[in-house]
Amino acid sequence: MIKRCAFTGHRDLGGKFDYNLLDRVILNLVKSGVTEFYCGMAVGFDMAAAECVLACKNEYGVKLCACIPCPEQIKNYGSADKLRYERILKRCDEIIVLSENYYKGCMLARDRFMVDNCDVLLSYLRKDSGGTFYTVKYAERKNIKIISI
């Protein structure tokens, strides 16, 4: 039975991104037995998915875990995204910081950690390069169920 879901998706969602579809997919995951969600806390898809989980939290008792690659993750975020990040972080049930310092590859290490600890990966993949592409391919090699939106 699926109990843990991780998110991966692009930072730039574009104007055609369907937030209602994301809400419906996450609610369906919750109703199918997912109890924990792992979020990498990146701008874009990660934070949108986290907010959907938080909307379900009180009614369904699901948990949100922030998987932070390093404390410097938000260094280059804009002010609105920093506020959004902090609001989400305050409502997380668990915060895992994977490295005390930034290093080349720490974002990918975070992505591998999430895949290694999930039963299903919810992805928003639109290009054949970058971190989301890497994470989806890693999940495929690990035989993790992938739901693409």
Given this model, what pLDDT does residue 58 score? 92
Given this model, what pLDDT does residue 15 score? 79
Given this model, what pLDDT does residue 71 score? 95
The rounded distance, in Å, linking the Cα atoms of 67 and 94 is 9
Given this model, what pLDDT does residue 114 score? 98
Digit-by-digit pLDDT tens for the chain (149 residues) are 679 999 999 999 987 899 999 999 999 999 999 999 999 999 999 999 999 999 999 999 999 999 999 999 999 999 999 999 999 999 999 999 999 999 999 999 999 999 999 999 999 999 999 999 999 999 999 999 999 99
Given this model, what pLDDT does residue 1 score? 62
Given this model, what pLDDT does residue 132 score? 96
Given this model, what pLDDT does residue 147 score? 98
The rounded distance, in Å, linking the Cα atoms of 29 and 50 is 13
The rounded distance, in Å, linking the Cα atoms of 82 and 86 is 6
What residues does each domain of the chain span? 4-148
The rounded distance, in Å, linking the Cα atoms of 52 and 105 is 28
pTM: 0.95
Give CATH for domain 4-148: 3.40.50.450
